[in-house]
Structure 1
Amino acid sequence: MKSEHLPLLNSVSAPAVHPDGARAVVSVLRPDFDADAYVGQLWAVPLGSGQPPRRLTRGFRDTAPDFSPDGHVLAFLRAAAGGKPQLHIVEAEGGEPQAVTDAPLGVSGFAWSPDSRRIVYSARTPEDGRYGSTEGVSAGGEDARLITDYQYRMNGVGYTADKPVQLFLVIVPELGAEPKVAPKGRALKASTAAAAGDTADRGSSAASAGLLPAAQQLTSAAADHNGAAFSTDGRAVFFTAALHEGSDSDLASGIYRITLGDGDGAGGGEPEPVAPANTGRQSVHAVRQSEDGQWLFFLAQDIGDSGQDFVARNTALYAVPSGGGDATLLSNVETMDLGCNGRIELRGPDSALLLNNAGGTVELHEFQATGSHQVLVHGGRAVTGAAARGGSLVVSFADAATAGDVAVLDGGQLRVLTDFSAQLRSDAGIIEPLELTFPSADGYPVHGWLVRPAGQGPHPVLLNIHGGPFAQYTGALFDEAQVYAAAGYAVLMCNPRGSAGYGQAHGRAIKEKMGTLDMQDVLAFLEGALGKFEELDAGALGIMGGSYGGYLTAWTISHDHRFKAAIVERGYLDPVSFIGSSDIGWFFGGEYTGRSANQMAAQSPMARVEQVRTPALVIHSEEDLRCPVEQGQRYFTALKQLGVEAAFLVFPGENHELSRSGTPHHRKQRFDEILRWWSRYLPTTENPAPAVR
């Protein structure tokens, strides 16, 4: 795979399954160089007919499909080029989609009512006068912000207190009704705004002209209200939020309920907390009532007495009686780390489907509120979503041969229904990773993969380190490894202590001792691979990583000088300045390194920068609020002052997610610059050294 093959990377959303169980719908997105954006549509996938999948919509970016409970309507989010995602509906059998919302900053999620007549949706809602809500007032002309809280910014979002996520209720319009027409003049203004990509003007024009259904705002607190879902009887909406006193100084959040009025009214007043009688301080990520209405399932992490002890805390599944009482822990919190893409999927009257990070894979599990549990999908793949309706269970997944596909579970086995990576394999070529385990210096097993280039070698070796640190590499197709291997490099990736997927003890092993066991483990994995494979060139080594991987790269080259060059990307490089500059700085560093000056210095790459001898390319994004650009700027400057060969690659308009979701142009340029750096210090036949001028 080469950088120009990025548009062949089709990512597949979690599936929506029709109530009849005969078909599913997914969103398929890909990077597009011409639009310099992510484009894609909805695809219908027949489950049992043997017919191929077909493109269902033709929008610029259509995502998040979900069928109404009665099966008559398909709802989804659509974004025009340069616009914000808005809720749309279309007849389940096909037709012309109809817009339902005009949220100024876009809609982030939605859920159907059981009677298929209403939808609750979430949208960031700007204060008056901000984010284009007042015509003629630009961002630079807005009033100053007075900050009094720790939690006021978020990577990829920017300021948050002046645009919290609120919940809205909308009645689904009749699809067969005659379309509304704007009065002359207003229609012209709306069409002009649409052509200019002006979401705020278009929305206000459409609303004032009565073209869209009226939405009732359910929440108003200055906090994010997430994961809304209707109760089984449709009389209430459950969601998660941090509405408790002192919420600014901890990571806790809880479950809340809004009782709806009779008929289609909102009603209900203030949100009511739903607190299990026996759980302590937790961070709740998702909530959903069971199909039989007897239970509330919720996903939560314990965060300790301080309310900030998040380090390597596995996310666990609980069930509490809908009428109140004690919550029952349904998963093994020491060994399972569960997730759900923001919404807990249901299967049967009292069971839920969850994803589990497990040893370099992502499994699909089913839990019953009564305590029974089974693993439905496991093995060498990463399940990315699942849904069950009408007797069919459908999953989206990635593995070594695909960036995303859809399968149905038949007789305990997956039957793959799509092949969205066929062109990627035929045009770019995919190298299957080799799974490996090597002992660390103390005998602890270190699990990972080798992606070997074609040919006999000797191959230069790139040691890649993942971010997090509580994250994991999997054996699924990884564009980074494929691009580097195609350029002639053997790519090593492992999950050292500190990573997710191997239990809490594995993840918490580096709490207040970063750069110890984790560095030991990645170097042991490198040594094990060099000893096992003669085609790996021990004299031609590079090391690279992003975020925490940038941290461990910078830390390692201050201790070990065998590497010909390094790439330190969006790194956590100075725990001291991180505290006041990062969106998570007020708690993250203190929990991982400890809070004393001595502790921070003992684990700080900046405190050891004078020990670095390795040429380093420092990569950062200007709008990175997670590891702010000052981390890279200061590290690069220090290397230059010390006489170490260094370069600083800075991407405008990008944030911490550049390598995963940056603009296609910048993602390609990033790959090209990385390979250019390696060509200087680790040239290969496929990536030769630059010509001397």
Structure 2
Amino acid sequence: MKSEHLPLLNSVSAPAVHPDGTCAVVSVVRPDFDADSYVGQLWTVPLGTSPDGGQPARRLTRGFRDTAPAFSPDGQSLAFLRAAAGGKPQLHIVEAGGGEPQLVTAAPLGVTEFAWSPDSRHVVYSARTPEAGRYGTTDGVSAGGEDARLITDYQYRMNGVGYTADKPVQLFLVEAPEPGAEPKVAPAGRALKAASAEPSAAGEQAAGAALLPAARQLTTAATDHNGASYSTDGRAIYFTAALHEGSDADLASGIYRIPAGKCPPGTETAAEPEAIVPANTGRLAVHAVRQSQDGQWLFFLAQDMGATGQDFVARNTALYVMPTAGGDATRLSDVETMDLGSNGRIELRGPDSALVLNTSRGTVELVEFSAAGNQEVLVDGPRTVIGAAAGGGSLVVSFADAQTAGDVAVPDGGRLRVLTDFSGRLRSEAGIIEPVELTFPSADGYPVHGWLVRPAGPGPHPVLLNIHGGPFAQFTGALFDEAQVYAAAGYAVLMCNPRGSAGYGQAHGRAIKEKMGTLDMQDVLAYLDGALGKFDELDAGAVGIMGGSYGGYLTAWTISHDHRFKAAIVERGFLDPVSFTGSSDIGWFFGGEYTGRSAEQMAAQSPMARVEQVRTPALVIHSEEDLRCPVEQGQRYFTALKQLGVESAFLVFPGENHELSRSGTPHHRKQRFDQILAWWARYLPTAANPAPAAGS
């Protein structure tokens, strides 16, 4: 795979299954160089077929970017989010059998998620709601001309979102268009003049808005209200939020319930949310809540934040259940060995069971839990499940593995019956290299698990030691564009999950709490040495190291201790715990929990505090709008290297945030790959990625 093959990377959403079980619908989105954006549509997948026989998957919609499909419970309609080029996603509804989608919302900053009512007549949706006078709500007032912000809280910004306190996520209720009903027509000419006090452009705009169903705001608190879903009887809406006293100083959040009310709006006001508090749990961060189909139980996903409410380090997400009427909650999953926070969703199956995803040893599994405590792994093996849904007796999953960035399948007798081939062109035109799964002992004998993506040919191959972010995250054996691009350029790519990573139990993840750069560095270097010793075609004298976010941290830390590397790439790194505390969106708690809060602890684990020990040429990559690891981290690190006379360069991307490598604009993602390969060509040239000509 080369950088120009990025448009062949089709990402597939979680599936929506028709209530009769005959078909599923997914969103398929890809980078597009011409639009310099992400484009995609909804596809319908018949469930009785496979790619090589019967009815194939077909494109259902033709919007610029259509995502998040969901069938109405009665199966008559399909709701989804549509974004025009340069626009915000808005809720649209189309008849399940096809037709022209109807626009349902005009949220100024777009709709983030939604859920159907059980009777299919209403939809509850979430949208960031701007404070008056901000974000274009006043004509002629640009972002730079808005009023000053007076900040009094820790939590006021978020990477990829910006300021949050002046645009919290609120819940709204809207009536769904009746399938087959005659569409409204906007008044024009004499009718517009008669209907509007402003026979002008403003009047036309108001008339256009009148074509949309009226929405009623359900929540008003100045905080985010997430994950809304209806109760089984349709009378209430459940959601998660941090509405407790002192919420600014901790990471806890809880379950709340409000009456569903009626639509269209009348004179009623928003109801006060009712807190649903289990009688026997500590300070939890609740990420999702769903009532069981029989109405007897509440399932919820949560992490225990400890006594302080901030102890988030390597806390596995567990599935809990409690009676709808209240009382004690029961934890259904083993919190030490299972981490159910992969996608933050709970899907229902049967009267009293839930489907969740489990992060496990470089894979993501699908697991079913019953309220009684029974559990069954439905999909496992060398793949990552992206999402799952059940309906009409059918169970459908979307997944990725070594040969696909995303496809749709039905579990069938312990195997997956694959129904689509959305990565077919990627395999045929770009070529995919299968990773080799490996485990090597660390210096203390601890097993370190990971993968080698090895280029074609006998070698010797230069080696890139790639370190993931997090640190409580994981590499998997699924198709990874980074490893594929580097391997196609002639590099053997090593990726492992050292202590600190997710998927191997909480003890594995918490092993580096207040000890960053110790066991984790030991593990990645042991993995490198193990691979070099096992494979003769890997060139031990031509090794580079790279990583982003926490991977940037460990790269910068490692090159201050080990000088074997020909060059390094330090990307969007956590490089100075001291300045991170006041500049990062998570700085008020992250560094303190990972490194400890004393000056001595921070210095003992800080790459900036050891920068004078660096000898390795380093390319520092950062994005100007990164609020997670702010650009000052990269600026200061690069400047220090220059002052020390270390060969270095600073690659800065305008308009991008911490997610550049995953969801940055296609142009910037391609440019990033090209610049990275140019850096490796300079210090680790290959036949496929030769050194630049002299003087260039």
TM-score (norm 2): 0.96
Q: 1:5 to 1:325 in 2, by over 3 A?
A: same
What corresponds to 1:146 in structure 2?
150
AA aligned to 2:512 is I
* Identity fraction in percent: 85
The gaps in structure 2 that reach 5 residues or longer are 194-200
Give the one of 52, 55, 59 matched to 2:59.
55
What corresponds to 2:181 in structure 1?
177
* Contact map agreement 1:11 1:403 (CA 8 A) in 2: yes
What corresponds to 1:481 in structure 2?
483
What corresponds to 1:439 in structure 2?
441
Q: Encode CA deviations 1:371-390: one digit per residue, 9 max, x unaligned.
A: 10000000000000000000
Name the count of aligned residue pairs: 682
Could you say what secondary structure the match of 1:554 adopts? helix
What corresponds to 2:3 in structure 1?
3
Cα distance between partner residues in 1 of 2:100 and 2:64: 14
Q: 1:212 to 1:77 in 2, by over 3 A?
A: same
Residue 275 of structure 2 is aligned to residue 273 of structure 1: yes
AA aligned to 1:274 is I
* Contact map agreement 1:255 1:273 (CA 8 A) in 2: yes
Q: 1:144 to 1:523 in 2, by over 3 A?
A: same
What corresponds to 2:36 in structure 1?
36
Residue 527 of structure 2 is aligned to residue 525 of structure 1: yes
**Once the 2 structures are TM-superposed, how far is the Cα of residue 147 of structure 1 from its aligned partner?**
0.3
What corresponds to 1:24 in structure 2?
24
* Contact map agreement 1:11 1:404 (CA 8 A) in 2: yes
Cα distance between partner residues in 1 of 2:209 and 2:38: 31
Give the one of 424, 427, 452 matched to 1:425.
427
* Contact map agreement 1:440 1:520 (CA 8 A) in 2: yes
After superposition, residues 55-454 of structure 1 pair within 5 angstroms as 55-184=59-188, 205=205, 209-261=209-261, 269-339=271-341, 341-454=343-456
The gaps in structure 1 that reach 5 residues or longer are 190-200
Cα distance between partner residues in 1 of 2:670 and 2:601: 39
Runs (4+) of structure 1 exceeding 6 A deviation are 185-189, 201-204, 262-268
**Once the 2 structures are TM-superposed, how far is the Cα of residue 136 of structure 1 from its aligned partner?**
1.0
* Contact map agreement 1:104 1:203 (CA 8 A) in 2: no
**Once the 2 structures are TM-superposed, how far is the Cα of residue 209 of structure 1 from its aligned partner?**
4.3
**Once the 2 structures are TM-superposed, how far is the Cα of residue 207 of structure 1 from its aligned partner?**
6.6
Cα distance between partner residues in 2 of 1:209 and 1:326: 47
Larger mean Cα displacement after TM superposition, 37-46 or 340-349:
340-349
RMSD: 1.6
Give the one of 542, 564, 568 matched to 1:566.
568
**Once the 2 structures are TM-superposed, how far is the Cα of residue 175 of structure 1 from its aligned partner?**
3.2
What corresponds to 1:589 in structure 2?
591
* Contact map agreement 2:235 2:260 (CA 8 A) in 1: yes
Cα distance between partner residues in 1 of 2:168 and 2:234: 25
* Contact map agreement 1:102 1:207 (CA 8 A) in 2: no
Q: Encode CA deviations 1:301-340: one digit per residue, 9 max, x unaligned.
A: 0001111000000000000000000000000000000036
Could you say what secondary structure the match of 1:590 adopts? helix
Q: Encode CA deviations 1:341-368: one digit per residue, 9 max, x unaligned.
A: 3431000000000000000000000000
Q: Encode CA deviations 1:121-176: one digit per residue, 9 max, x unaligned.
A: 00000000000011111101100000000000000000000000000000112232
Cα distance between partner residues in 2 of 1:461 and 1:341: 32
What corresponds to 2:579 in structure 1?
577
Residue 655 of structure 2 is aligned to residue 653 of structure 1: yes
Cα distance between partner residues in 1 of 2:576 and 2:144: 30
AA aligned to 1:657 is E
Could you say what secondary structure the match of 2:633 adopts? helix
* Contact map agreement 2:319 2:331 (CA 8 A) in 1: yes
**Once the 2 structures are TM-superposed, how far is the Cα of residue 178 of structure 1 from its aligned partner?**
2.2
Cα distance between partner residues in 1 of 2:189 and 2:637: 56
* Contact map agreement 2:258 2:273 (CA 8 A) in 1: yes
What corresponds to 2:496 in structure 1?
494
Residue 471 of structure 2 is aligned to residue 469 of structure 1: yes
Q: Encode CA deviations 1:164-200: one digit per residue, 9 max, x unaligned.
A: 00000001122322222223379999xxxxxxxxxxx
Q: Encode CA deviations 1:586-634: one digit per residue, 9 max, x unaligned.
A: 0000000000000000000000000000000000000000000000000
Q: Encode CA deviations 1:64-91: one digit per residue, 9 max, x unaligned.
A: 0000000000000000000000000000
**Once the 2 structures are TM-superposed, how far is the Cα of residue 451 of structure 1 from its aligned partner?**
0.3
Q: 1:207 to 1:306 in 2, by over 3 A?
A: farther
Cα distance between partner residues in 2 of 1:567 and 1:510: 23
Cα distance between partner residues in 2 of 1:37 and 1:647: 28
AA aligned to 1:228 is A
AA aligned to 1:61 is R
**Once the 2 structures are TM-superposed, how far is the Cα of residue 269 of structure 1 from its aligned partner?**
1.4
Cα distance between partner residues in 2 of 1:297 and 1:31: 36
* Contact map agreement 1:156 1:656 (CA 8 A) in 2: yes
**Once the 2 structures are TM-superposed, how far is the Cα of residue 412 of structure 1 from its aligned partner?**
3.1
**Once the 2 structures are TM-superposed, how far is the Cα of residue 219 of structure 1 from its aligned partner?**
0.1
Give the one of 629, 650, 659 matched to 2:631.
629
AA aligned to 2:10 is N
Cα distance between partner residues in 1 of 2:224 and 2:45: 34
Could you say what secondary structure the match of 1:245 adopts? coil
* Contact map agreement 2:465 2:546 (CA 8 A) in 1: yes
Q: 1:431 to 1:146 in 2, by over 3 A?
A: same
**Once the 2 structures are TM-superposed, how far is the Cα of residue 259 of structure 1 from its aligned partner?**
1.5
Could you say what secondary structure the match of 2:396 adopts? strand
